[in-house]
Amino acid sequence: MCGIIGVTGNKRSVSILINGLKRLEYRGYDSAGIYVNDMNGHDYLIKRKGRISNLEAAINDNVNGMSGIGHTRWATHGEPNEVNAHPQYSADERFYLVHNGVIENFKQLKQEYLQDVHFKSQTDTEVVVQLVDRFVTKYQMDTKTALLKVLRLINPDSSYAFAMMDREQADTIYVAKNKSPLLIGLADGYNMVGSDAMSMIDETNKFMEIDDHELVIVKPDHVSIESFDSNEKHRKPFTVDMDASATDKGPYPFYMLKEIDEQSSVMRKLVQHYLPDGDPVIDDDLLAAMMKADHLYIIGAGTSYHAGLAGQRIFEALTGIHTSVHISSEFAYEHPLLSEHPFFIFLSQSGETADSREVLVQVNKHKWPSLTITNVDKSTLSREADYTLLIDAGPEIAVASTKAYTAQIAVEAILAKALGQKKEISAAEKFPLKSELSNIANGIQAITDGKDKIAAIAAHYLAKPRNAFYIGRGVDWSVALEAALKLKEISYVQSEGFASGELKHGTIALIENHTPVIGIITQDRTAGLTRSNLEETQSRGAAILTIVSRHLSMDDDTIIIPDVNELLTPLISIVPAQLLAYYTSLGKGLDVDKPRNLAKSVTVQ
């Protein structure tokens, strides 16, 4: 988490930095700051607690610079306040540093080298910038040598993306990374650094990758790259086609509602992209690599993990290959006995999740084949996996993931059909995916068109309770997990997704008068059982609600959703749950898009 932006050259830096920070606010929003230098002997450091708007309000017309660095923070070390906000700076106010990540051995470094230094902040970052200053002032190293020495002293398990400025070389930004994302942006007469391409897209669409353990020196007209052991590197820039206007909120009060509404058009776009004539258009090399697999391991976190659960049964049904789904932060440190020919599928909207990347690093060490299914082309997980499939969802800005979930499941289904067809599995050959996805696009639209009714249900049932449950069986349970995550993360209602048959084995003790229990019912085999489980909670005072496929519906069901193929019901049953979460949060007057304590891109382990 945390967003970094920097610029040096022939343009006024303040507005570029603020614009970049606004585009990066999804990465963290508890405090923000900039350091700018006018390359004429004047410099400015401004930091504020809270949102970028607070920082922007604190910058007056006198603040001018041609170079600068900026940061929006998601706190790891030290509470969110102005002192702990970045840039952190050295005691003599010569060096300024912004950082995303965690320095694992910062306490040891402080103890060993900086016992006599007075620290202003509680951050691990300040140790790094004070240490650079120590090596420059006490041991007369030049800035680059001092920074390289510090980088070599940082424990390799640490994660960092750094941008550092030295007021005595005001046109230069020193950049380094390990595990955390960072990109160089190349423009005409000025160059940039940023946590992602979107943060620089208003200035340039030409970028250069940085690998782990590289030091990059960014000047207005030149960028040099070298490894920590001082080998010069040459790298070709690449361009990114990105529509910056796609990040506009338009008439919507919050991005989340816009993104929920966009799901029907994302489905249609995926059909055009991957299924123009009905047969999936998927890279032959990818399919050939997957043909050798005896087990598919799907890896993800949060919503992406839930999208994997929905995909698991599609892969097994259409390809006949055993498929398992794993939470990345667990799999990285304790995984099951692996099969002889594993194939790894990484699901990640951002393509930057540190927990998932940790698994990919290990997978690459073993040279196991891998695919990333992501929304962000050239993201870290996309670059480092053998293959990438894009989910074409357009930028997802709200912290609560919605359209990425449905798009990930749709791409899993497309891939499963392609692989199944290659294996000549008749279930895959017969599966009418193109028409099903088109049908689903219409179904999603019908649900979002009826959002007023869902808003009223949220106001009636979910505004007051502290606890709520989503329940279901099989794939409906996997949707219950995602539905509960949506509700808890933006409305702060303590909500759990539960296997409906499991409630009576303990959790039913939590049911009180008016506790909402929402049943998801889309599968013929288990519909009756889930209804019985709902009734068991109703007998104990619960307020029961249902999200039910039309052909299984009864008179007093709460929300009836269009019928779709049983393998694909998560694409449609999640939509009312997304809207229930949205309207509950809205009704409480919360910031729907930026819930407390969270960030969109989780780049620390």
Q: Hey, how many other C-beta atoms are within 10 angstroms of the C-beta on 186?
A: 18
Of 6, 68, 280, 302, which lies in the binding site for ligand AGP, with binding defined by CB under 6 A? 302
Nearer to ligand AGP, 266 or 542 (CB): 266
Of 63, 301, 310, 493, which lies in the binding site for ligand AGP, with binding defined by CB under 6 A? 301
Considering only residues 228-267, where is the footprint of ligand AGP by CB under 6 A?
A: none
Q: By the 8 A CB rule, do 543 and 514 touch? A: yes
Considering only residues 381-420, where is the footprint of ligand AGP by CB under 6 A?
A: 399-401
Of 358, 436, 489, 557, which lies in the binding site for ligand AGP, with binding defined by CB under 6 A? 489
Strand order in the sheet with 387-390: 323-327, 295-300, 342-348, 370-374, 387-390
| Catalytic residue selected from 177, 451, 594, 600 | 600
Considering only residues 38-57, where is the footprint of ligand AGP by CB under 6 A?
A: none
Of 123, 125, 350, 439, which lies in the binding site for ligand AGP, with binding defined by CB under 6 A? 350
Q: How many residues does the chain have?
A: 605
Shortest gap between Cβ of 303 and ligand AGP (angstroms)?
Answer: 3
Cα distances (angstroms) measured from residue 29 to each of 19, 21, 256, 557:
14, 10, 17, 40
Considering only residues 172-201, where is the footprint of ligand AGP by CB under 6 A?
A: none
CA angle 385/388/389 to nearest 5° reads 150
Contacts of 116 (CB under 8 A, 6+ apart): none
356: contact with ligand AGP by CB under 6 A: yes
Nearer to ligand AGP, 121 or 349 (CB): 349
Q: What is the dihedral of CA 46, 50, 56, 62, to 10 degrees?
A: -20
Shortest gap between Cβ of 332 and ligand AGP (angstroms)?
Answer: 13
Task: Return the bridge partners of 191, or none.
Answer: 8, 186
Shortest gap between Cβ of 563 and ligand AGP (angstroms)?
Answer: 27
Tokens representing residue 193 in the block: 């650094």
- C-alpha 224: how far from its chain's center? 30
585: contact with ligand AGP by CB under 6 A: no
What is the sign, positive or negative, of the torsion defined by CA atoms of 520, 525, 528, 532? Answer: negative
Distance between terminal CA atoms of the chain?
Answer: 10
What is the distance between the alpha carbons of residues 319 and 415, in angstroms, rounded to a whole number? 10
What is the distance between the alpha carbons of residues 326 and 9, in angstroms, rounded to a whole number? 46
Between β-strands 214-219 and 190-194, what pairing exists: parallel, antiparallel or unpaired? unpaired
521: contact with ligand AGP by CB under 6 A: no
DSSP E strands in 479-575: the ranges are 494-499, 516-521, 543-549, 559-561
Of 172, 348, 406, 523, which lies in the binding site for ligand AGP, with binding defined by CB under 6 A? 348
| Catalytic residue selected from 2, 417, 488, 594 | 2
Q: How many CA atoms lie within 13 A of 407 on its CB side?
A: 33
Tokens representing residue 457 in the block: 């249900």
Binding-site size for ligand AGP (CB under 6 A) equals: 15
Shortest gap between Cβ of 139 and ligand AGP (angstroms)?
Answer: 42
What is the distance between the alpha carbons of residues 321 and 314, in angstroms, rounded to a whole number? 10
**Is 504 noted as a catalytic residue in this protein?**
no
Nearer to ligand AGP, 215 or 490 (CB): 490
Shortest gap between Cβ of 363 and ligand AGP (angstroms)?
Answer: 16
Shortest gap between Cβ of 224 and ligand AGP (angstroms)?
Answer: 31
Binding segment (CB under 6 A) for ligand AGP, from list 116-124, 172-180, 342-350, 519-527: 342-350
Shortest gap between Cβ of 396 and ligand AGP (angstroms)?
Answer: 9
Binding segment (CB under 6 A) for ligand AGP, from list 81-89, 278-286, 350-358, 552-560: 350-358
Q: Hey, how many other C-beta atoms are within 10 angstroms of the C-beta on 279?
A: 14
19: contact with ligand AGP by CB under 6 A: no
Shortest gap between Cβ of 592 and ligand AGP (angstroms)?
Answer: 12
Binding segment (CB under 6 A) for ligand AGP, from list 7-15, 110-118, 273-281, 347-355: 347-355
What is the distance between the alpha carbons of residues 32 and 49, in angstroms, rounded to a whole number? 6
DSSP E strands in 294-340: the ranges are 295-300, 323-327
What is the distance between the alpha carbons of residues 580 and 550, in angstroms, rounded to a whole number? 19
Nearer to ligand AGP, 37 or 353 (CB): 353
Nearer to ligand AGP, 348 or 549 (CB): 348
Shortest gap between Cβ of 207 and ligand AGP (angstroms)?
Answer: 19
Residue 544: phi and psi, rounded to 5, are -95, 140
Shortest gap between Cβ of 472 and ligand AGP (angstroms)?
Answer: 19
Of 84, 100, 304, 530, which lies in the binding site for ligand AGP, with binding defined by CB under 6 A? 304
What is the sign, positive or negative, of the torsion defined by CA atoms of 137, 139, 140, 145? Answer: negative
Nearer to ligand AGP, 31 or 350 (CB): 350
What is the distance between the alpha carbons of residues 376 and 104, in angstroms, rounded to a whole number? 28
Residue 154 DSSP label:
S
**Is 600 noted as a catalytic residue in this protein?**
yes
Which helix H or strand E contains 409, and what residues bound it?
A: helix 403-422
Shortest gap between Cβ of 417 and ligand AGP (angstroms)?
Answer: 23
Nearer to ligand AGP, 319 or 401 (CB): 401
602: contact with ligand AGP by CB under 6 A: yes
> Of all residues in this chain, which one has the CB nearest to ligand AGP in the complex?
302
What is the distance between the alpha carbons of residues 32 and 37, in angstroms, rounded to a whole number? 17
Binding segment (CB under 6 A) for ligand AGP, from list 195-203, 211-219, 301-309, 536-544: 301-309
What is the distance between the alpha carbons of residues 258 and 593, in angstroms, rounded to a whole number? 11
Binding segment (CB under 6 A) for ligand AGP, from list 108-116, 145-153, 255-263, 346-354: 346-354
Nearer to ligand AGP, 24 or 301 (CB): 301
Nearer to ligand AGP, 192 or 487 (CB): 487
Omega into 181 within 30° of 0, i.e. cis? no
Nearer to ligand AGP, 127 or 458 (CB): 458
Of 349, 406, 445, 603, which lies in the binding site for ligand AGP, with binding defined by CB under 6 A? 349
Task: Return the bridge partners of 264, or none.
Answer: none
Q: Please give the residue ranges that form the binding site for ligand AGP (CB under 6 A).
A: 301-304, 348-350, 353, 356, 399-401, 485, 489, 602
Residues annotated as catalytic are: 2, 600
